Amino acid sequence: MPMPDDLMDPLRRFVNSRAAQHDQDLADGTASVWLPYALDRKYPKAHRELKWQYLFASHRLSRDPKTGRRHRHHLHVDTFPKHLRRAVESAGVLKHVTSHTFRHCYATHLLWNGTDIRQIQQLLGHSDVKTTEIYTHVRNPNETKVMSPLDRLVREQEGASRDTPAA
């Protein structure tokens, strides 16, 4: 999905803050991330390099029971839903909202703004356009009504007869 231009600067700031956190971890001697065993053997110092770290990293370090090494893992899977629920409640939204809701909203707004359904299908990674149609099952308020060619011809004829002066 395309990254909104308005989010580029905040994302850069976030990446920079994550790099600063990693620099602090390096200074503290705790900068590390768990890597699969083959990668850890092939690149023995990679676990300390920024490019291998999680962008959305946990605030806490945890100890690997096998190696004893302390690592900074990714955010726990339950973290985002808790924060989302708090944000939804504080905004006074009474509807049930999940992270998946954002995919539906994104697809719907693309459709309302004239994006072709096949393009939306590709952006969402759907293999079948029917899945995308389920996502966008709401009525498009900007949709132009499809008119039969016969109706169009009749209306054009009626319009032409009104424009012709009576004899």
**pLDDT for 66:** 81
Nearest-angstrom CA–CA distance, 68 and 50:
21
Residues 2-13: what's their mean pLDDT?
Answer: 91
**Digit-coded pLDDT (tens) for 28-61:** 988 888 888 899 899 999 999 999 999 999 988 8
For 21, counting Cβ atoms within 10 Å of its Cβ (0-12 exposed, 13-18 middle, 19+ buried), the class is: middle
Contacts of 98 (CB under 8 A, 6+ apart): 81, 84
Nearest-angstrom CA–CA distance, 72 and 161:
78
Is the model's pLDDT at 160 over the cut of 80?
no
Provide the residue ranges of all domains of the chain, joining segments of one domain with +: 5-71, 79-135
**pLDDT for 138:** 63
Cα 12 to chain centroid distance, Å, stands at 17
**Residue 72 region, left (φ>0) first, then alpha (ψ -120 to 50), else beta?**
beta
Nearest-angstrom CA–CA distance, 80 and 95:
18
Residues forming beta bridges with residue 63, ordered by sequence position: 70
Which of the pair, 77 or 139, is modelled with greater confidence?
77
Q: What is the token pair recorded at 67?
A: 């190696």
Residues 70-99: what's their mean pLDDT?
Answer: 90
Is the model's pLDDT at 107 over the cut of 70?
yes
Residues 80-106: what's their mean pLDDT?
Answer: 91
Flag the least confident range among 55-69, 104-118, 136-150: 136-150
Best mean pLDDT range from 84-88, 101-105, 135-139, 148-152: 84-88
What is this structure's pTM?
0.61
Best mean pLDDT range from 1-5, 27-31, 140-144: 27-31
